[in-house]
Amino acid sequence: MFLLHEYDILWAFLIISSVIPILAFVISGVLAPVSEGPEKLSSYESGIEPMGDAWLQFRIRYYMFALVFVVFDVETVFLYPWAMSFDVLGVSVFIEALIFVLIPIVGSVYAWRKGALEWS
């Protein structure tokens, strides 16, 4: 972190942009009126009393898509260094990359056939 001076401006930018929401909260906290009430603070559910909690079980499909996403995202991350030095590495590494890409493709075909990419 402290060795890469190239990234100093990234940290500076991160700190300055973190100030923006804090500043917005402070200004709004000073200016905005406060008039709380139990009705006002209850969660919105089309005008009726909220029924039960929202922190409950949800569709497993979201997890399936997240899993497939992780596979492909990691694959793409590994391909970036190869793409940047493509002109140096040449044909043999191209074939290696092709095999590497083929493995997730086979995996995604399997996931597709098994119905992991179906919503309903």
Partner 1 sequence: MIIDTTEVQTINSFSTSEFLKEVYGLIWIVPILTLILGITIGVLVIVWLEREISAAIQQRIGPEYAGPLGILQAIADGTKLLFKEDLLPSRGDIRLFSVGPSIAVISILLSYLVIPFGYRLVLADLSIGVFLWIAISSIAPIGLLMSGYGSNNKYSFLGGLRAAAQSISYEIPLTLCVLSISLLSNSSSTVDIVEAQSKYGFWGWNLWRQPIGFIVFLISSLAECERLPFDLPEAEEELVAGYQTEYSGIKYGLFYLASYLNLLVSSLFVTVLYLGGWNLSIPYISIPELFGINKIAGIFGMTMGILITLIKAYLFLFISITTRWTLPRMRMDQLLNLGWKFLLPISLGNLLLTTSSQLVSL
Tokens of 13: 């930018």
103 counts as binding partner 1 under rule CB under 8 A:
no
Token readout for 41 is: 């603070």
Judged by CB under 8 A, the residue of 92, 98, 99, 115 near partner 1 is 98
* Nearest distance, CB of residue 19 and partner 1, angstroms: 10
* Inter-residue contact 51 to 45 (CB < 8 Å): yes
Q: Number of residues in contact with partner 1, rule: CB under 8 A?
A: 67
DSSP for 15-71 reads HHHHHHHHHHHHHHHHHS-----HHHHSPPSTTS---S-S-S---THHHHHHHHHHH
Indicate the DSSP class of residue 117. T
Residue from the set 48, 92, 99, 120 that interacts with partner 1 by CB under 8 A: 120
| Site residues (CB under 8 A) for partner 1, limited to 35-64 | 35-36, 38, 40-46, 50, 53-55, 58, 62
The CA-to-CA distance between both ends of the chain, in Å, stands at: 46
Residues engaged in binding partner 1 (CB under 8 A): 5-10, 12-14, 16-18, 20-22, 24-25, 27-29, 31-36, 38, 40-46, 50, 53-55, 58, 62, 65-66, 68-69, 72-73, 76, 79-80, 83-87, 90-91, 94, 97-98, 101, 105, 108, 112, 117-120
